[in-house]
Amino acid sequence: MAARIKQVSVFIENQPGRLTSMLEALEKNGIDIRALSIGDTADFGIVRMILSDAAKGAEALRQAGFTTRQDWILSAEIPDRPGGLLKAVAEPLAKAGVNLKYLYFYIEAAERKSMAVLKVDDLEKAEQVLRAL
């Protein structure tokens, strides 16, 4: 099963305390982090998150002085077994000619599901492929 979800990306300087400031802004506004990924370069990092309320979270971060962006991405359930990611995501997308740009994971605790967050080059096509499984 695949579904579109909003991802909030935050651009932060690679300096002590910047991640703390970002997390404090979310906490102060009652925003829960469902999933988080951090990629870095020499001077800045990109924090990608799935939040309990993407719009409210992005606004709270902007008010705290952070540059944010919201994007539609896919969330797909991954079977908890060897080859789960291969058979449920990587192989079907590759066969359909969809490039997987990055992914990260989170757990849907209430439903006890392992989920992958997917950034692809063709959202429409990827969604159709993964929903057909």
Q: For 51-78, how does the pLDDT look when each residue is reduced to its tens digit (9 = 90+)?
A: 999 999 999 999 999 999 999 999 999 9
Could you give the residue range(s) of every CATH 3.30.2130.10 domain in the chain? 2-71
Q: 2-71 has which fold? A: VC0802-like (3.30.2130)
Q: For 9-21, how does the pLDDT look when each residue is reduced to its tens digit (9 = 90+)?
A: 999 998 899 999 9
Q: How far apart are CA 43 and CA 89, in angstroms?
A: 33
- Cβ-based burial of 90 (10 A; exposed 0-12, middle 13-18, buried ≥19): middle
* CATH for the 73-131 domain, from 3.40.50.970, 3.40.50.300, 3.30.70.260, 3.40.109.10: 3.30.70.260
User: How many residues can be counted in the chain?
Assistant: 133
Cα within 13 Å of Cα(14), Cβ side? 9
What does the block give as tokens for 68? 């944010």
The SS3 of residue 77 is: strand
Q: What is the pLDDT of residue 108?
A: 81
The pTM score is 0.89
Query: Per-residue confidence at 30, pLDDT binned at 50, 70, 90?
Result: very high
Could you give the residue range(s) of every CATH 3.30.70.260 domain in the chain? 73-131
Residue 71's contacts (CB-CB under 8 Å, 6 or more residues apart) are 6, 7, 9, 119
Residue 113 has pLDDT above 90, yes or no: no
Whether 123 and 74 have beta carbons less than 8 Å apart is answered as yes
Q: What is the pLDDT of residue 80?
A: 86
- How much of the chain, in percent, has pLDDT values that exceed 90? 82
| Mean pLDDT, range 78-82, rounded to an integer | 90
Q: Tell me which amino acid residue 107 is.
A: I
Q: What is the pLDDT of residue 93?
A: 97
